[in-house]
Structure 1
Amino acid sequence: MSTPLFEPPQRPRIWALSISRLRDLFFDIAGEYVERADLRIVSHGFEDAVREIESAGAGRPDVVIAGGSNGAYLKTRVSVPVVRISPTGFDVMHALARARREGARVALVTHGETPDEVRRFIAAYALDVTFASYQSAQDAESVVLDLSDRGIDVVAGPGLVTDLAVSAGMGTVFLYSRASVRTGFDTALEVAQATRRETVRRQRLDTLLQHLRDGVVALDAQGRVEVMNQRLASVLGIDPAKAVGRALLDLAPDLAGSLPDADGDSFCTVRGASYVVHRGPLASSSAAAGTVLTFQESRALERLDRTLRSRQRVQQFSARYRLDDIVGASASIERVRTLVTRYAKSDATVLILGESGTGKEMVAQSMHQLSARRDFAFVAINCGAFPEALLESELFGYEEGAFTGARKGGKAGLIEVAHRGTLFLDEIGEMPLSLQSRLLRVLQEREVVRLGSTEPVRVDIRVVAATHRTLTEGVAAGSFRADLYYRLNILSIALPPLRERPNDLLPLAAELLRQAAAREPRLAARVPDAATAAHVLGGLGASLRRYAWPGNVRELQNVIERIAVELADAEAAPVADTLADTKTTTRTNSTALPKDATIVTRDMLRSVAPEILEPVVRATPASLTLRERSRHVEADEIRAAIAAHDGDRDAVCAALGISKTTLWRKLNAGR
């Protein structure tokens, strides 16, 4: 069975109440409204009618119709709208005309004062009519008896009066007509529809109010609660339904003195939690407007602020490199790619080991780009590039007035800036001991305390650290905390130096040349892609592999930049088919290359980077101690093993029976 897209609106519930002959008119015209209203005719009046309405529960009427004193009585005693049926001017004239035909002495009896227009009408036509009015059922009985004593023949009035007049032996004319009853029913329908529209509007507003994350209360001009959402009621520990109509400060005395006196903000504490309270005007057509108070939890505002700042700073602190930017096909580089992809799925701290220039930050950025945090900031800081005091303020931030020259309003540290993103701590081995303990607390508790503050700020960060040092030696020497080392070294990636992956040299140099050419308009057309760059550099393959590259990729990039400048200034020459080292050339057909491509010769390389073509000078055995000789011998043997296993360090460790940490330490010791 299909479900309708929306429920059709229910017919308004209308009750018509009467204990007199007005009830007969209700029955006469009820059939005219059966399609437009759920109409019920109730034979109750006054107190009995009140009990009937209030006990109806969910079936209570939307509107009540009643006449005369019954309507006036109900109007002040029930919580639903009451429409009173009033006789029209035509009803009065028609009733008096009939009364004059039935008796000589006529009385007009109305509930409340007789309208002035009726008196003026009768006076204008010099009619002999006695006027009388009543306020309640008891008054009506007294009025009728008095009229009987005065010799009145016919009484024109509402149902209650005419019933009493019949009992007193007088003639009667019922004052109401079908037209006046129809007018009452039509008015009741309009009131019911307007009431329902207002109810729906209030329900929607209440639903909206209840879904707000902040506490909200609306007060009248006397400070009494008009509406309160469940959020604030829970904070104050009260029932929101029972709060309506009561003074807020009676419900929550602890708020006295904390609420803003005028439109604006203030701070208050409720049950140990801090809130920012905003006061604003509650619009009203009357002169006495009310007040709206919103309660926002301080911690929620801080979290929102950090999230917004994280979003805003993604462009400023963003990762540029991706996994595809790591060039190389050696086994050791493939191992690095595998670990980056694997570790990106985790939030555990990573320690990246590698010599200077091996691409530690590129690996960290690639990991960030693959992680679930990629939409947030990647914040990098070199721990060895700042003095201790400056590094502390940069990392942890500070409050206003924390020290001389502190920025007004304070400053968020880079740890806070990295909220929901990645914090990359380069050269972590250079961090002073005093800051290592503070960083350890950040890693353990995931919260940071600014300089000059005592309140911790929660942060959600992934930490990636990098170093070219052997941290275990720092731990042994007392310059690096052991507990911090074990907190950092949960996951680790060891990057191979460039000299241990010789087959990656030419592809890497070609990619660096392509990037340099893209930045140089004079060279862009001559070196449009990596294939062309590889052909241009092809004759240098053997020379590049023979060099040790102590500066690793960074040094190679510097050399390629020099070559790019030389190529841009050099006059174009046809591509030569005879290269110094044909085995290292690309498979690209030379005829497909630009006609004005220029081949890099050994002479050009000698002019821009002579150190690459010079023989490697090693220390003579006589200048080394026995311990140093032993270290160099071990290092040479390890390098030979790495070359034999094509840079696969896992295979080298297995062949030599040593761990990766030992391999790393012995290689560094033998430099």
Structure 2
Amino acid sequence: MNIPPSDSSSRPRIWAMGISRLGDLFLGIASEYEGRADVRVVSRGFEDAVHEIAAAGAERPEVVVAGGANGAYLKTRVAVPVVLISPTGFDVMHALARARRDTTSVALVTHGDTPDEVRRFAAAFGLDVVFASYQSAQDAEACVLDLRDRGIGAVVGPGLVADLAARAGMSAVFLYSRASVCAAFETALEVAQATRQEAVRRERLDNLLQHLRDGVVALDAHGRVEAINQRLAAVLDIDAAKAIGQPLLELAPELAGVLPDADGDSPASVRGVSYVVHRGPLASSGTVLTFQESRAVERLDRTLRSRQRAPQFTARYQLEDLFGECASVERVRTLVRRYAKSDATVLILGESGTGKEMVAQSMHRLSVRRDFPFVAINCGAFPEALLESELFGYDEGAFTGARKGGKAGLIEAAHRGTLFLDEIGEMPLPLQSRLLRVLQEREVVRLGATEPTRVDIRVLAATHRALTHAVEVGTFRADLYYRLNILNIALPPLRERSTDLLPLAAELLWQAACRDPRLAEQVPDRDAAEHLLVSVEDALRRHTWPGNVRELQNVIERIAVELADRDVVHDALRKDRRFVPTQALTGDELQAIAPEIFDVSSRGDDMPMTLRERSRHVEADEIRAVLAACNGDRDAACRKLGISKTTLWRRLNTSTA
């Protein structure tokens, strides 16, 4: 007879399993626990009870309550906790007293050995009791029949024994009381609650393990799997659920030679993948193993190095700061946007003051490396020994005065970002070979170190020199030149941007006005700045501007200082708040401010090349590279370049004219 379970998943599921008299006692008590537990009374015993629990599947009990031989049988055969009903001393005394009312010859039959406290109790009160015990149902039947043959008139015992004694014609007293069964139910509730808490803890632990990026397995003292996350199970090609309780080395024999013998880290290779395996102690003499992929360790190291950058390693300029509307400047902007999508090395060519670093910073800010360092170094600003240590860094003790702990070089500081090598043409030859290795292998060896450090950088280089000539005379390595000149941008000098000259001067003057409140009254916007300068436009255009935009900026700063001292605030401006144009700058004023603009001289041979001349040199370099690749075969070179022999001859000779 069964009591149907209540519809509640929040209450613990308890099955009370007993036959005969114990089952009847369960039915009388179960209703008292409706509010605290989902109690089901199952009139099954031994093997039938095992099958009943197995058939329940996900609805199986969380705890089973049973007594005597049935409880002992279930305890070793089901995977759920079994609470045994234990009679109290009062139960024994009360049952023996009832049995002695009918006869003086009484036997107490218990499952297993009779407890010592029961024997002492009987001796203390002078009770003449025969003690007997059984292990199985067959033992119980044989025991009862033996007692009957010995003349025992009454038997005290669990339900199975009481039923057997009654069938044998003896007086039978049921040992278990209502109080002992209620105590078993209370214990079952405590066990269920503890089991649920343990299940929640294990579930949280399992969730934690599954969310770890590394493979993790917990082993007991015998090397059996207690917990394993899916990431490691996938690596070992095993079923995570079925692995629990199995020896790890039987599941994955390939680990026998790679697991560390002591706590700590050790390298290992599993199925062709390199790992760092960490072994650590676990409570109860267990072990936890963590498998971290070596590549992930390297990526983490690179990320940490890239984030530990100094504040100065940032790009301030963006493409909008490159002022100009002429076709050559627009072409530069187009190339910057295009090259920012690539990770190839770029060589930026241009005279001093044309904005090479501005272009480099703009390219960095448009690239996928924008969130990482932009490290710029002027290769011509350091002595050779100092440049080497600044670029490549050094280990502790590499030289006298070396910082304790060593120092990372600027190449390492640019990890995951951009390294800008300004004035690359000034780099000493010995360092050029070391830089070439960095570009080829993407690794740096610090001064005094023996192990290389991997770096992930994009290299931008800039120069105002004709590197092809430097290669010819032997001051610049040809292999480094071709490694740098993968992509190139040639910046036009200011003298070739005649249409941009006045707007650029006005822009610079307006920027100066934004920094000086005295000048802001005279130059409230760009139009006002252009009005001030339009009268000297011809003089500005006649100048060749060897210092390019930097020289123009210097001249504009002088003009700004001069204009700031003018008394130009008109009464109308004060009264009506209307802009009254300031008197334009005169030629005499400009000559007093910047006399070099009026010093007309022809450009000498040492003047920088024009954009057209630079383009011819770059084109000739490309033709020479193709010729070298074709082993000097001009016909093959012409076919690759798509030009005639005459054109090839003319362009080579034009570049050397």
Inter-CA distance 402–269: structure 2 relative to 1 (3 Å threshold): farther
Match of 1:610 in 2: 595
Paired letter, 2:364: H
Q: Deviations over 1:594-621 (max 9, x none)?
A: 66967544344323321012223456xx
Inter-CA distance 635–489: structure 2 relative to 1 (3 Å threshold): closer
Secondary structure at 2:412 match in 1: helix
CA contact (8 A) 2:23 2:41 kept: no
Match of 1:205 in 2: 205
Give 1:365-404 correspondences, 5 Å limit.
365-404=361-400
Give 1:407-426 correspondences, 5 Å limit.
407-426=403-422
CA distance in 1, matches of 2:132, 2:316: 91
Deviation at 1:422, TM superposition (A): 1.8
Deviation at 1:148, TM superposition (A): 3.6
Inter-CA distance 635–309: structure 2 relative to 1 (3 Å threshold): closer
Deviation at 1:393, TM superposition (A): 3.0
Q: Deviations over 1:238-265 (max 9, x none)?
A: 99876868699x97565556x34xxxxx
Match of 1:161 in 2: 161
Give 1:476-491 correspondences, 5 Å limit.
476-491=472-487
Inter-CA distance 113–562: structure 2 relative to 1 (3 Å threshold): farther
Deviation at 1:179, TM superposition (A): 5.7
Give 1:28-43 correspondences, 5 Å limit.
37=38, 39=40, 41=42, 43=44
Inter-CA distance 221–337: structure 2 relative to 1 (3 Å threshold): same
CA distance in 2, matches of 1:412, 1:599: 54
Is residue 573 from structure 1 mapped to residue 581 from structure 2 by the alignment?
no
CA distance in 2, matches of 1:471, 1:90: 107
| CA RMSD across the alignment | 4.6
Give 1:268-417 correspondences, 5 Å limit.
268-271=266-269, 273=274, 275=276, 277=278, 279=280, 282=282, 294=290, 296=292, 300-313=296-309, 315-417=311-413
CA distance in 2, matches of 1:275, 1:159: 61
Paired letter, 2:412: E
CA distance in 1, matches of 2:164, 2:512: 111
Secondary structure at 2:202 match in 1: helix
Match of 1:474 in 2: 470
Secondary structure at 2:592 match in 1: helix
Deviation at 1:446, TM superposition (A): 3.5
Q: 1:503 aligns with which of 475, 491, 499?
A: 499
CA contact (8 A) 1:19 1:45 kept: no
Match of 1:555 in 2: 551
Paired letter, 1:45: F
Match of 1:132 in 2: 131
Q: TM-score, normalised by structure 2?
A: 0.76
CA contact (8 A) 1:384 1:427 kept: yes
Paired letter, 1:413: G
Unmatched segments (≥5 aa) in structure 1: 1-7, 261-265, 578-590, 620-627, 640-656
Secondary structure at 1:134 match in 2: strand
CA contact (8 A) 1:105 1:128 kept: no
Match of 2:624 in 1: none
CA contact (8 A) 1:352 1:360 kept: yes
Q: Deviations over 1:328-369 (max 9, x none)?
A: 111221222222222222223222221111001111111222
CA contact (8 A) 1:523 1:567 kept: yes
CA distance in 1, matches of 2:443, 2:56: 58
CA contact (8 A) 1:423 1:462 kept: yes
CA contact (8 A) 1:499 1:548 kept: yes
CA distance in 1, matches of 2:441, 2:104: 101
Paired letter, 1:608: I
Match of 2:85 in 1: 85
Deviation at 1:321, TM superposition (A): 0.7
CA distance in 1, matches of 2:359, 2:276: 43
Match of 1:22 in 2: 22
CA contact (8 A) 1:572 1:598 kept: no
Match of 2:46 in 1: 45
Inter-CA distance 113–332: structure 2 relative to 1 (3 Å threshold): same
CA distance in 2, matches of 1:576, 1:363: 45
CA distance in 2, matches of 1:596, 1:34: 96
Secondary structure at 2:343 match in 1: coil
CA contact (8 A) 2:134 2:143 kept: no
Is residue 435 from structure 1 mapped to residue 434 from structure 2 by the alignment?
no
Paired letter, 2:595: P
CA distance in 2, matches of 1:164, 1:637: 118
CA contact (8 A) 1:108 1:129 kept: no
Give 1:169-318 correspondences, 5 Å limit.
169-177=169-177, 180-181=180-181, 183-216=183-216, 218=218, 227=227, 229=229, 252=256, 259-260=262-263, 266-271=264-269, 273=274, 275=276, 277=278, 279=280, 282=282, 294=290, 296=292, 300-313=296-309, 315-318=311-314
Match of 2:68 in 1: 68
Q: TM-score, normalised by structure 1?
A: 0.74
Paired letter, 2:598: L
Deviation at 1:106, TM superposition (A): 4.0
Q: Using the TM superposition, name which of 375-384 and 398-407 deviates more.
A: 398-407
CA contact (8 A) 1:210 1:231 kept: yes
Paired letter, 2:562: E
How many pairs align?
A: 603
CA distance in 1, matches of 2:579, 2:279: 69
Secondary structure at 1:269 match in 2: strand
CA distance in 2, matches of 1:151, 1:104: 11
CA contact (8 A) 1:448 1:456 kept: yes
Deviation at 1:199, TM superposition (A): 1.7
Give 1:519-598 correspondences, 5 Å limit.
519-520=515-516, 523=519, 527-568=523-564, 570-574=565-569
CA contact (8 A) 1:225 1:244 kept: yes
Unmatched segments (≥5 aa) in structure 2: 1-7, 615-645
Is residue 492 from structure 1 mapped to residue 477 from structure 2 by the alignment?
no
Inter-CA distance 14–312: structure 2 relative to 1 (3 Å threshold): same
Paired letter, 2:135: S
CA distance in 2, matches of 1:150, 1:393: 104
Secondary structure at 2:347 match in 1: strand
